[in-house]
Amino acid sequence: MKAILPTLPRRLLVLALAAASVGGAYAATTAPAPTATTPDVVADHIDTSVKPGDDFFEFANGAWLKAHPIPPEESQWGIGQVVQDELYAKLRKISEDAAATKNAAPGSDEQKIGDFWTTAMDQALADKLGITPLNGELARIDAVHDVNSALDEAFALQLLGVGPFFDFSVQQDEKQSDVMAVHLWQGGLGLPERDYYFNKEKGVAKVRDAYVEHLHRTFRMLGKSDAEAANSAKQVMALETALAKVSRPLADLRDPEKNYNKMAPADLTTKYTPAIAWNTRLAGWKLPASTVIVGQPEFFSGLQALLAKTPTPVIRDYMRAHLVDTYASYLSADFDNEHFDFYGHTLNGQAEQKPRWKRALRAENKALGMILGRIYVKDYFSEASKQRYNAMVEAIRTAYGERIDKLDWMSPATKAKAHEKLAAVTKKVGYPDKWKDYSKLTIGRTSYAQNMMNATRWQTEDMISKFGKPVDRNEWEMTPQTYNAYYNPSNNEIVLPAAQFMIPGFADNQIDDAVVYGYVAASTIGHEITHGFDDEGRQYDAKGNLVDWWTKEDAARFKQRADVMVKQFNAYEPLPSIHINGEASLGENIADFGGIMIGIDAFKKTEQYKKGEKIAGYTPMQRFFLGYALGWLSQEREEQLRTGLLSDVHAPAKWRVNGPLSNVPDFYEAFDVKQGQPMWRPENQRVKIW
């Protein structure tokens, strides 16, 4: 994906392409050479003052980045945000047209979109209502008087997308991919990731202090005196810090075997959380599960200890804070601005809020994404485009199969299993073949926050309803208008939404194959397929089950090669004293590298590569690498860079270009990279996996 993460299940399910870019458009025909008055899709971005072997990201993208500073309402700016603006313009028209529809049938797509948009854009109504849309839940929190009543409300809040104490989901059983299972996962934190509570870097320490002040101001807005609010903020921070202490670090959450602990709900109660009668609680959600999959049992033990010793007033304040932060963006300006001040400004560096209409569209996508998607693809994505990208997936699949055959470190037995899995990868391109039924979702004009609560409850109940039913392998976790892509290991599928194939300012036939193969085939399609064979995805078989299909020797050889990449990325230091987490980002880094290698193989079969003619002064292979770098064209504020380094499994955009390319022989040849240049590595120190 690119700049804004889509709404995904709270427990990690898919391996997405999250970053600051967007996929490109595939050229059906060879592009005409640019003239003096026609811009070139990659050459015009180049900063010729930088040598390719010194910093290829800056060489390929530097001129554009210098000419396009980050706008004050953004935390990052690049091709992903430019594409998002194009999408916003199209979605705004859809929304305004629906709002202008007279006598829209109740329950129709037009009524839901029109009422949502009208209410979301009504700042005066939101200001008039203030906190009142949350009064019902706040009253229930006020009634909490002991651990049992606290759990009553905690479980009720889960249905509204508020996650006090822990996260839960109903998803495929990792070891029985044809069965929907209840998953329980660590959670309950207000900061992005557990290390935010402990990292000593001064920027992180400032964020911690700012978070306490944010809580302080929030409690004041909820009616506490200044002294009471300050005390409440301090105690809530202490509770969350204790939760963080018993939480696993980010890198440890990527081991599917260690995060798969299947047990009976009664055993979870007896062994780990005596205060939570899980059978009874799950039955309240209409989940008569005989087993649950617990990600981190020690976290739930820690939670049990905290429930036993935390004063009830602190638990009430903790729940109030999480409820308000979840819905603040849909309330009056005072709550909205307070939420932005911390989560937008402090954490991500935005100087000011985005226009209300863009924020309304972001919420509308979250609440009614697939309804908007039906209209979007009808108006903006052709069947011909869908078939074009289906064909490109097959070209990459073929190239990957040939690369597997050539591996000198993998045994024939494991190669056979790898081929079986590759052949079974399902591709979903553009939009779902079957659209989700939203008929039971009620959207009206009572309040913006009420519509968001209705949508979130509907989504949660829809997820719960899947329990006990056959797995729907046709379902999508992203909307067609999302500029991102993902691999789902349990389905062994790659999903490529329609918006992924946009390049702003260019039509399909204006982009040559070289750029497209770097921009789409390598950075998106090849990347997602490689996720099925990265350090995490490789542990799932062709049917999506978590099972070991590798020989012991091959697994050891894979790890040895992957460890080289871990070491490389651990050495990168984007901010003083904050390095990239090579362990946490390993899967994405392997996928980037694998996507490039496979994309090169596929591109070498094209007519453009074989002819070898230059366009805008660059050879086909040079344009391939420039196309890849274009896919990560982005710059971000220091605050967001820090947030990503501590909480994201994706490396920053610059290192997603320079990191993998420093291991690619064709890159060295294309740009004559020499020993002594920053991107040069000795041949025996380069990553060699796929």
Residue 378 forms part of a structural domain: yes
Which amino acid is located at 309 in the chain? Answer: K
User: Same domain, yes or no, for 391 and 294?
Assistant: no
d(CA 83, CA 20) in angstroms, rounded, equals 11
> What pLDDT was estimated at residue 14?
52
Q: Which phi and psi (to 5°) does residue 16 adopt?
A: -95, 165
d(CA 177, CA 539) in angstroms, rounded, equals 13
d(CA 483, CA 506) in angstroms, rounded, equals 16
> What pLDDT was estimated at residue 509?
73
Which amino acid is located at 479 in the chain? Answer: T
User: Same domain, yes or no, for 260 and 179?
Assistant: yes
Res. 6 pLDDT band, cuts 50 70 90: very low
- The answer on pLDDT for 219 being more than 80 is yes
Residue 449 forms part of a structural domain: no
CATH number for the domain that contains residue 30: 3.40.390.10
User: Which helix (H) or strand (E) segment is 170 a member of?
Assistant: strand 166-173
d(CA 382, CA 429) in angstroms, rounded, equals 12
What is the pTM (predicted TM-score) of this model?
0.92
> What pLDDT was estimated at residue 171?
97
Q: Which of 330, 347, 372 is the last residue of a domain?
A: 330
Q: Which of 291, 309, 330 is the last residue of a domain?
A: 330
Residue 128 forms part of a structural domain: no
Residue 86 forms part of a structural domain: yes
Instruction: Give the pLDDT confidence of 549-584 residue by residue, as tens digits.
Output: 999 999 999 999 999 999 999 999 999 999 999 999
> What pLDDT was estimated at residue 37?
55
User: Same domain, yes or no, for 82 and 204?
Assistant: no
Q: Which residue has the tokens 């990792």?
A: 174
Residue 535 forms part of a structural domain: yes
> What pLDDT was estimated at residue 5?
30
Total domains, the chain: 2
What's the average model confidence in pLDDT over 245-252?
97
- The answer on pLDDT for 223 being more than 90 is yes
d(CA 572, CA 581) in angstroms, rounded, equals 9
Query: What percentage of the chain has pLDDT greater than the value 70?
Result: 94
User: Same domain, yes or no, for 322 and 414?
Assistant: no
Residue 210 forms part of a structural domain: yes
What's the average model confidence in pLDDT over 477-487?
95
500: helix, coil or strand? helix
What's the average model confidence in pLDDT over 656-680?
98
Res. 506 pLDDT band, cuts 50 70 90: confident
Nearest CA to 381 out of 427, 428, 429 is that of: 429
Q: Which of 312, 330, 348 is the last residue of a domain?
A: 330
d(CA 150, CA 153) in angstroms, rounded, equals 5
User: Same domain, yes or no, for 392 and 307?
Assistant: no
Instruction: Give the pLDDT confidence of 89-107 residue by residue, as tens digits.
Output: 999 999 999 999 999 999 9
User: Same domain, yes or no, for 61 and 177?
Assistant: no
User: Which helix (H) or strand (E) segment is 544 a member of?
Assistant: none
> What pLDDT was estimated at residue 320?
98
Number of neighbouring beta carbons within 10 Å of residue 496: 27
User: Same domain, yes or no, for 322 and 366?
Assistant: no
> What pLDDT was estimated at residue 501?
84
Residue 109 forms part of a structural domain: no
What's the average model confidence in pLDDT over 238-267?
97
User: Same domain, yes or no, for 206 and 323?
Assistant: yes
- Residue 428 and residue 493 in contact, taking contact as beta carbons nearer than 8 Å: yes
- The answer on pLDDT for 675 being more than 60 is yes
Residue 485 forms part of a structural domain: yes
- The answer on pLDDT for 30 being more than 90 is no
Order the strands of the 261-263 sheet from edge to edge. Answer: 166-173, 176-186, 292-294, 261-263
d(CA 689, CA 1) in angstroms, rounded, equals 24
> What pLDDT was estimated at residue 380?
86
Domain with 255 in it: 147-330
d(CA 618, CA 612) in angstroms, rounded, equals 10
What one-character-per-residue DSSP string does 26-43 give? --SSPPPPP-TTS--TTG
User: Same domain, yes or no, for 576 and 634?
Assistant: yes
Q: Of the ranges 57-61, 306-310, 504-508, which one carries the lowest mean pLDDT score?
A: 504-508
Nearest CA to 597 out of 565, 555, 574 is that of: 565
> What pLDDT was estimated at residue 332?
98
What's the average model confidence in pLDDT over 356-364?
98
Instruction: Give the pLDDT confidence of 374-423 residue by residue, as tens digits.
Output: 999 988 888 878 888 899 999 999 999 999 999 999 999 999 999 999 99
User: Same domain, yes or no, for 175 and 69?
Assistant: no
d(CA 603, CA 469) in angstroms, rounded, equals 43
User: Same domain, yes or no, for 379 and 317?
Assistant: no
CATH number for the domain that contains residue 202: 1.10.1380.10
> What pLDDT was estimated at residue 51?
98
User: Same domain, yes or no, for 284 and 366?
Assistant: no
